[in-house]
């Protein structure tokens, strides 16, 4: 008798249970279990499978030669930077991002670039009709690029078609959630279907040496919906981010077997598609509020590239029992830490104030080096003391209130000089590797020094002007 292979699979994390329950014990999500047939290729009886003998294969040494250049350069330098120097042959990339962020646009542009360079590039859309994809290509001015286009969702048909003729250099599947394969019986979009479809496509990519890009949708909380399981199967996971209301888009590697994971690619969404931004600092600083209290320029580094960005803080008195702490683009727990250090070591009481911190331009900062700039912006807002407009800040703050050194000091200083800044407030022990800079350096060993300097500027300037009476009637 055939074994019953029905089981209940969590659509969020892929954990399987043999009876239904309301909450997934593995990821803690509610109502995510759905009944699925997880038998896979159960059509081959066990007795036959047991008799089959394994095929012998060659074992090789580590020093063997690998033929031909393993990377395919897309020609979009921001994309190539994030992938680590181009798509690796036979590798699989998962591209995640919110709906409407520009994933299809980015990939249409990349496919067109490769096709124009005489590579076979295939774009399979499971979401849009061929006419819609064409319309987008027309808008991008790429309608003449010899990209091979289809609107298909059956994995078997796709693989059969791709296996014809010369193997493609690049295949784009937009999106993996819309694909389905005959080998499993679950509905499209379920974890089992997504996993089986991805497996079949990945097998094809590895065998044919094709670079494969799978598009994955992202849920509200930033997870790649359903196929968390796919993240483990692919070589690289890229995420395409940005604020819907702003035109900047940031491509970030979350996982990369063939390159670094701290590089970012910066794009701007224009009426004619995505434009590469080769100097992001200029872009992030383009709309600076000069001379307003509460803003500090942070000299950061993303991967190998220095990026200058403005941090904006607002510290306002509150009547709430629990004051608000809101932060966009930075780690909220780092903000809490900086506030605690300001309170404990610099005598700044913020328990009666709401605190807001924003990273301008929609960038998300992960470096601890932003601590000093954040602290400077906060104190500047509280003391109503604008920071010097020609100064950049960087340095990590320790719980003891010391300013700790950070890496790549000279790259940060060079970028600041290039953009016309005249001074840098930096950790004392970092100023050693800053030889040759023309910036005036203000090395600081503790946060107290930086804070008292800003507070002194505020005293010279006097208290904040009273709010204007806006009652026009
Ligand atoms: P799209 O690539 O379809 O997003 P995704 O595939 O991630 O869902 O991009 C959708 C948005 O991009 C849409 O709101 C319109 C905008 N857009 C432009 O602003 N300029 C353009 O040239 C294109 C093609 C799209
Ligand atoms: Mg799309």
- pLDDT (tens digit, 9 = 90+) per residue, 353-362? 999 999 987 7
More confident position, 172 or 284: 172
Please report, in angstroms and rounded to a whole number, the separation of the first and last CA atoms in the chain: 85
Closest C-alpha to 316, from 306, 308, 326: 326
Q: What is the mean pLDDT of residues 317-324?
A: 90
Mean pLDDT of 23-51: 68
Ligand 1 site, residue 140, Cβ cutoff 6 A? yes
Asked if 71-277 and 282-456 have one fold, the answer is: no
Best residue among 102, 176, 268, 274 to mutate for probing ligand 1, ranked by most atoms within 8 Å of CB: 102
* Model confidence pLDDT, tens digit, residues 231-260: 889 999 998 988 767 788 989 888 898 888
379: helix, strand or coil: helix
Calpha distance 459→471 (Å, rounded): 30
pLDDT at 345 (0 to 100): 94
pLDDT digits (tens, 9 = 90+) for 148-187: 999 999 999 999 999 988 999 999 999 898 999 998 887 8
Query: For the domain bounded by 282-456, which CATH number is listed?
Result: 3.30.230.10
Q: Where are the domains of the chain?
A: 6-47, 71-277, 282-456
pLDDT, residue 471, reads: 46
pLDDT at 292 exceeding the cut of 80? yes
Determine the atom of ligand 1 nearest the C-alpha atom of 269.
19
Quick one: pLDDT band at residue 297, thresholds 50, 70, 90?
A: very high
> Which residues are CB-neighbours of 94 under 8 A, at least 6 positions away?
176, 213, 214, 216, 224, 227, 230, 231, 234, 236, 237, 238
> What distance in angstroms lies between residue 102's CA and the mean position of ligand 1's atoms?
5
Average pLDDT, stretch 124-129?
92
Distances (CA, A) of 309 to 253, 313, 399: 20, 13, 24
Q: Cβ-count burial of 290 within 10 angstroms (0-12 exposed, 13-18 middle, 19+ buried)? A: exposed
pLDDT > 90? residue 447:
yes
State whether the beta carbon of 244 lies less than 6 angstroms from ligand 1: no
Residue 40, pLDDT above cutoff 70: no
* CA–centroid distance, residue 209 to ligand 2 (Å): 25
Mean pLDDT of all residues in 392-414: 93
User: Stretch 338-362: mean pLDDT, rounded?
Assistant: 92
Ligand 1 atom 25: residue of nearest CA: 273
Q: Which two tokens stand for residue 133?
A: 């994809």
d(CA 374, CA 370): 6
Rounded percentage of the chain residues whose pLDDT exceeds 90: 49
Confirm or reject: Cβ of 408 under 6 Å from ligand 1: no
Instruction: Name the 3-class secondary structure at 125.
Output: strand
Predicted confidence (pLDDT) at residue 3 exceeds the cutoff of 60: no
pLDDT level of residue 5 (50, 70, 90 thresholds): low
Could you tell me the fold of the domain covering 71-277?
Rossmann fold (3.40.50)
| Segment 339-358 mean pLDDT | 93
What is the mean predicted confidence (pLDDT) over 85-101? Answer: 91
């Amino acid at each position: 008798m055939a074994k019953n292979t029905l089981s209940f699979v969590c659509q969020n994390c892929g954990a399987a249970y043999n009876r239904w329950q309301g909450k997934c014990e593995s990821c803690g999500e509610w109502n995510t279990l759905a009944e699925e047939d997880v038998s896979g290729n159960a059509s081959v009886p066990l007795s036959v499978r047991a008799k089959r003998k394994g095929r012998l294969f060659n074992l090789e040494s580590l020093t063997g030669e690998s033929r031909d250049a393993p990377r395919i350069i897309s020609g979009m330098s921001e994309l190539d930077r994030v992938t680590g120097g181009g798509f690796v042959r036979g590798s699989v990339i998962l591209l995640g991002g919110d709906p409407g962020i520009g994933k299809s646009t980015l990939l249409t542009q990349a496919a067109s670039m490769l096709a124009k360079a005489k590579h076979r590039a295939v774009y399979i859309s499971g979401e849009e009709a061929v006419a819609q994809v064409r319309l987008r290509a027309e808008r991008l001015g790429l309608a003449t690029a010899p990209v091979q286009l289809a609107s298909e969702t059956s994995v078997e048909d796709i693989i059969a078609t791709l296996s014809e003729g010369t193997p493609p250099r690049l295949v784009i599947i937009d999106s993996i959630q819309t694909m389905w394969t005959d080998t499993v019986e679950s509905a499209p979009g379920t974890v089992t279907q997504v996993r089986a479809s991805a497996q079949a496509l990945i097998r094809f990519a590895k065998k044919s040496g094709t670079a494969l890009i799978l598009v994955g949708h992202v849920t509200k909380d930033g997870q790649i919906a359903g196929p968390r399981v796919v993240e483990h199967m692919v070589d690289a996971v890229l995420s395409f981010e940005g604020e819907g209301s702003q035109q900047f888009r940031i491509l970030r590697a979350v996982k990369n077997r063939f390159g670094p994971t701290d590089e970012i690619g910066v794009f701007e969404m224009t009426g004619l598609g995505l434009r590469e931004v080769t100097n992001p600092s200029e872009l992030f600083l383009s709309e600076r509020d000069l001379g307003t209290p509460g803003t500090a320029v942070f000299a950061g580094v993303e991967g190998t590239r220095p990026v200058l960005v403005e941090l904006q803080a607002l510290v306002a008195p509150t009547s709430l029992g629990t004051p608000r702490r809101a932060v966009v683009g930075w780690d909220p727990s780092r903000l809490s830490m900086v506030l605690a250090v300001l309170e404990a070591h610099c005598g700044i009481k913020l328990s009666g104030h709401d605190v807001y911190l924003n990273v301008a331009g929609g960038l998300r900062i992960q470096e601890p080096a932003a601590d000093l700039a954040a602290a400077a912006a906060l104190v500047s807002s509280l003391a109503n003391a604008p920071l010097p407009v020609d100064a950049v800040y960087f340095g990590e703050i320790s719980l003891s209130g010391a300013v700790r050194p950070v890496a790549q000091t000279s790259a940060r200083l060079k970028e600041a000089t290039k953009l016309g800044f005249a001074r840098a407030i930096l950790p004392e022990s970092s100023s050693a590797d800053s030889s040759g800079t023309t910036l005036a350096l203000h090395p600081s060993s503790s946060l107290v020094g930086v804070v008292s300097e800003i507070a002194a500027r505020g005293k010279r300037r006097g208290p904040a002007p009273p709010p204007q009476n806006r009652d026009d009637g």
